[in-house]
Amino acid sequence: MQPASGTENATAETAISNDYAWHALQKATDKKRSDLIADIVGHPKGAPTVEELDYMNPNLSDDAIRRHLRVLEDVDVVTVDELEPGERLRDFPYQFFSLTNQARELFDRNGLFPKEAWQRQYQSVNKTDRIKELERMPRPD
């Protein structure tokens, strides 16, 4: 058996990339999930908590938000980062959701979820003191 040529390897990589793009875009373009992605992109630190997403999406329950985030995590659009147990603050969330680098590249390549536009939109929303406090929380590195 001969090793694959460079062209065949590039074709295989493109097929994987196209497969990822198809699945990611299929899941990300659902209205409710795209609203969540827009809020992730617009968040001042790019990594909101479920509580912040719940505030920005009052039409969704926190359980529905978690289900949509799991779908996006399953297709490698969103990643969840957690504070270590010793870093967690009492009465504050410890999970933060952000876009994967692969998703950001895909969205940039397709003109979706422009960061500056969604940050302006996110900033224009009046927020409670609790949400402002959550926005200032440290996030995992």
Q: What is the pLDDT of residue 113?
A: 96
Instruction: Kindly report the number of other CB atoms within 10 A of residue 101's CB atom.
Output: 10
Q: What is the mean pLDDT of residues 34-53?
A: 97
Of 1.10.10.10, 2.40.10.10, 3.40.50.2300, 3.40.190.10, which CATH number belongs to 6-136? 1.10.10.10
pLDDT above 80 for 1: no
pLDDT value at position 19?
A: 86
What was the pLDDT predicted at 4? 47
Rounded to 10 deg, the angle between the 62-74 and 6-28 helix axes is: 170
Q: With contact defined as beta carbons under 8 Å apart, do 45 and 135 qualify?
A: yes
Tell me the angle at which helices 6-28 and 31-42 cross, rounded to the nearest 10 degrees.
Answer: 100
